Amino acid sequence: MTKHICVVGSIHMDLIISSDHLPKPGERMIADSVVTSTGGKGANQAVAASRLGPEVYLVGCVGNDGWGGELRSALVQEGVDVQFVTTKPDVPSGVGIVTALPDGELAVVVVPGADRELSIEDVELAREAIEGAAIVIIQLEIPVPAVQRAAEIAQAAGAKVVLNASPAIKLPPEIFAGVDTLIVEFAEAQALLNDEEPLGQSRIARRLGALGPDKVVVMESGRSALLFDGEKILEQTALGAEIVDSTGARDAFVGAYAVARLEECRLEETLRSACAAGVLASTQVGALPAMPTREEHEGFLKKLATA
Ligand code: RIB
C-alpha cells in the first residue's frame, strides 16, 4: 500500500432541516426545507480529504438497512475505499438530525445506531489500512475503545494521528500523548478540561497542549483557527464568504488539515488550507456535497492570495 489517509469514524444519514428558529418543548414548528445527505464526522472527513486528492480509507459501520447501502454507495462514488466499513446486522444506520439556522449556527442530534457497534475487533481487521497510512484521522462519535485501539495501532506504525475531539467527551488522559494534532471546536473545547472558568482560545490551546499532543488546533466553525505547537501560537482569521449551511465546515477543515500534513506543508499554510476548506464547505447545503474539490480549494486560495 502506498501512503494514504485512513479515517476511523462515524457514518450517518443526515436530515438537514433549514429553519429560522429551534422549536421549544411542546411547539409544533413548520420548517423551510429538509435535505437528506450522507454525513457523520468520519464519512465527511474521509470525503473532504478524498476530494483534495489522496487515497482515503474509511473504517466504520453502517446498519443493515436501506440507508446503509446508500451511504456505502455514496462513499464509493467519492472514491473512498470502504472495504473496512462493516455492515452490522439488526441495528439501524446512524442518523444526524441537523437544524441549520439562518446565521449559520447549527443544532445537531446524533442517533449513533451502527456507529456504536464499531469494536476493537473491527479496528484490528482494518490494521493494514491503519498501519499503511501516513495520517490517521479519528473523531469521537464512535466507542472510546475503538478510538484508543486505532490510535495505538497508528502510533506503533509511525502514522501521524489527527484526533478531532468532537463531540467533546471525557477521554482517558493517556490518549492524547503522541497525537500529532488535537483539533477541537472552540464551543466544545471547554468540556475537555476540568475547568469551570471560561477560557479564551489560546488558554484552551495551551491547557490542552499540556495533556500531551504535539499540536493543538482550536477552530471556530471550521472557518478560523488558532494553532499551538508547544511553543508559539499561529492564527488564521476567518476568510470571507457567504455562509449558507455550515454542517460540514468543521469536517472539511479536519480533512484539509490532514491532507496538508500528508503533503508536509508548513503549519501556517496547513492552517490556511484547512480554514479555506471550512469556508468553502459553508457556502452550500449539506455536509458531504459541500466538500470542496482540489480545483475549487486551490482556486479559492489563489484568489485570496491575489486579493
Ligand atoms: O460535523 C457534522 C456532522 O456531525 C453531521 O454530518 C452529523 O451527522 C454529525 O455527525
Residue with the three cell numbers 466499513: 85
Q: Is the pLDDT of residue 192 over 90?
A: no
Residue 51 is assigned to a structural domain of this protein: yes
Predicted local distance difference test score (pLDDT) of residue 1: 42
pTM, two decimals, is: 0.96
Asked if residue 40 is part of any domain, the answer here is yes
> pLDDT-based confidence at 258, cuts 50/70/90?
very high
9 Cβ closer than 6 Å to some ligand 1 atom: no
Tell me if 58 is assigned to some domain: yes
Apex 80 CA angle, 76 and 84, nearest 5? 90
The H-assigned helical ranges of the chain are 41-51, 66-77, 120-125, 127-131, 144-156, 186-189, 201-209, 249-262, 267-281, 294-306
Q: Please, which pLDDT band fits residue 300 given cuts at 50, 70 and 90?
A: very high
Q: Is the CB of 40 under 6 A from ligand 1?
A: yes
C-alpha cell recorded at residue 152? 495505538
* pLDDT tens digit sequence for 44-88: 999 999 999 999 999 999 999 999 999 999 999 999 999 999 999
Cell numbers at 263, concatenated: 503533503
Q: Are the C-beta atoms of 112 and 10 separated by less than 8 Å?
A: yes
> Atom 9 of ligand 1 has which residue's CA nearest to it?
40
The answer as to whether 70 is a domain residue is yes
Distance, C-alpha 86 to centroid of its chain? 20
The more confident residue out of 223 and 102 is: 223
Sheet with 233-236, edge to edge strand ranges: 81-88, 56-63, 4-8, 133-139, 160-164, 181-185, 215-220, 224-228, 233-236
The angle at the Cα of 178, spanning 196 to 153, to the nearest 5 degrees, equals 120
281-302 burial code (b ≥16 CB/10 A, e <16):
bbbebbbbbbbbeeebbeebbe
**Total tally of structural domains belonging to the chain:** 1
Distance 232 CA to ligand 1 centre (A): 31
What is d(CA 17, CA 23) in angstroms, rounded to the nearest whole number? 12
Q: Which candidate in 81, 115, 180, 251 is catalytic?
A: 251
Q: What is the pLDDT of residue 102?
A: 84
What pLDDT, on the 0 to 100 scale, is given for residue 105? Answer: 81
Taking alpha carbons only, the member of 103, 181, 114 closest to residue 141 is 114
Enclosing domain of residue 123: 4-20+34-306
What CATH number should be reported for the domain holding residue 166? Answer: 3.40.1190.20
Q: Is residue 28 part of a domain?
A: no
57: nearest Cα among 31, 26, 82, 87: 82
Asked if residue 29 is part of any domain, the answer here is no
DSSP secondary structure, 109-166, as one string = EEE-GGGGG--HHHHHHTHHHHHTEEEEEEESSS-HHHHHHHHHHHHHTTPEEEEE--
248 pLDDT higher than 50: yes
Q: In this structure, is residue 215 part of a structural domain? A: yes
Average pLDDT over residues 119-131: 98
Region 241-245: mean pLDDT is 81
Do the Cβ atoms of 41 and 179 come closer than 8 Å? no
Q: Tell me, using a 6 A CB cutoff, whether residue 44 lines ligand 1.
A: yes
Known active-site residue 115: no
In a domain, residue 133? The reply is yes
